[in-house]
Structure 1
């Protein structure tokens, strides 16, 4: 796991990036840095470790709950669709917004993800403007939920 710390003070958008390709992770992280959204990012290279983080097991006992999960489909150990299925069957985690970032051009992958309630399905290499507009929209939803709870 790698944490990318926010550069500004205040409430950061908690992002969880589950991506095994360091090149793709770097491109995603650079896009997020350029967008100006105050965020903190946790990077996981496989689905199994990401699940440990979400369930706050072991070294992740103090892990923050992510506001948005950025999920690749092709992962070692636990693939993205299996990860998503597990997430959607857990009452405490099923509400988390998930943005799928994938190189898959298989229509059945997209249908499965849509059936599992992803917030967005974006093919890599992604259009940065589209990606950032999705993140901005989800950040707005996250802030609305926090205000309602406070």
Structure 2
């Protein structure tokens, strides 16, 4: 899925309950050099509802990538990963866990639940731009991803 030569924006489902982090992440991707469309939800329940509506709707928004926090209200990031792992319509969606946790058990559990990558949120707001560029370099420019199911 190289978007370098494509005018289509990259569609990202951002699952994040902290408005400050939402702003930093969105700004980081604006400076990363590719056009993005964010679908932002503040908890895991809303993320799963969004994905189900997208799959069930013929005109639903295609999602190229999910950025998922683990510490969410209502339905945690781990519960979202479990639901996605069990729902075949979602299993090809690349998921990057983007969280403040550096706990080894959180990292291991995320990968066991089929997360594609685990990134720790930078503590310095200026480092978010580098994070956006790193995600672009690998996930947008280099990785070949499966087609979005229709």
> By the TM > 0.5 criterion, same fold?
yes
TM-score using structure 1 length: 0.80
SS of aligned partner of 2:38: strand
1:77 and 1:144 mapped to 2: Cα distance? 30
Distance 1:144 1:54, change over 3 A: closer
SS of aligned partner of 1:92: helix
Where do 5+ consecutive residues of structure 1 fail to align? 1-8
Cα shift at 1:84: 0.7
Partner of 2:3: none
1:21 and 1:91 mapped to 2: Cα distance? 29
Where do 5+ consecutive residues of structure 2 fail to align? 1-5
Cα shift at 1:145: 4.3
Partner of 1:118: 115
Deviates more, 1:103-112 or 1:75-84: 103-112
Partner of 2:134: 133
Q: Does 1:105 align with 2:87?
A: no
2:52 and 2:142 mapped to 1: Cα distance? 23
Residue in structure 2 matching 1:47, options 39, 44, 48: 44
1:93 and 1:141 mapped to 2: Cα distance? 22
CA RMSD of aligned residues (A): 2.4
Cα shift at 1:24: 0.7
Distance 1:43 1:84, change over 3 A: same
Asked if structure 1 preserves the Cα contact closer than 8 Å seen for 2:32 and 2:132, the reply is: no
2:112 and 2:80 mapped to 1: Cα distance? 14
Asked if structure 2 preserves the Cα contact closer than 8 Å seen for 1:47 and 1:83, the reply is: yes
SS of aligned partner of 2:102: coil
1:83 and 1:11 mapped to 2: Cα distance? 27
Q: Does 1:28 align with 2:43?
A: no
Cα shift at 1:78: 0.3
Asked if structure 1 preserves the Cα contact closer than 8 Å seen for 2:17 and 2:42, the reply is: yes
